[in-house]
């Protein structure tokens, strides 16, 4: 069975209890359910993270960050 890099990253994130990836420089994040939707993750900048609720007046539903909520 051949695993893609995306599959290997997803397996690692799941097995270590992470919710997805985030890139602080680009202010973006993605959940395991929709991992790497950009198709071109920044391999040196995307980090494992945890889901947090977004501020009520934000244009998005959640953020991914380095600390557990």
> pLDDT for 13-30, tens place per residue?
999 999 999 999 988 999
Query: What is the β-pairing status of strands 47-53 and 28-31?
Result: unpaired
CA distance 27 to 24: 5
Would the pLDDT of 69 be above 90? no
Mean pLDDT of the region 25-45: 90
Q: What is the pTM of this model?
A: 0.88
Confidence tier at 9 by pLDDT (50, 70, 90): very high
Backbone angles phi, psi at 11, to 5 degrees: -60, -45
Mean of pLDDT over the chain: 93
Three-class DSSP category at 20: strand
Three-class DSSP category at 35: coil
């Amino acid at each position: 069975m051949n695993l893609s890099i995306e599959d290997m990253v997803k397996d690692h994130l799941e097995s270590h209890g992470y919710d997805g990836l985030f890139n602080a420089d680009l202010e973006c994040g993605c959940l395991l359910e929709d991992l790497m939707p950009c198709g071109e993750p920044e391999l040196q900048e995307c980090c494992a993270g945890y889901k947090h609720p977004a501020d009520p007046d934000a244009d998005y539903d959640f953020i991914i960050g380095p600390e557990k909520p």
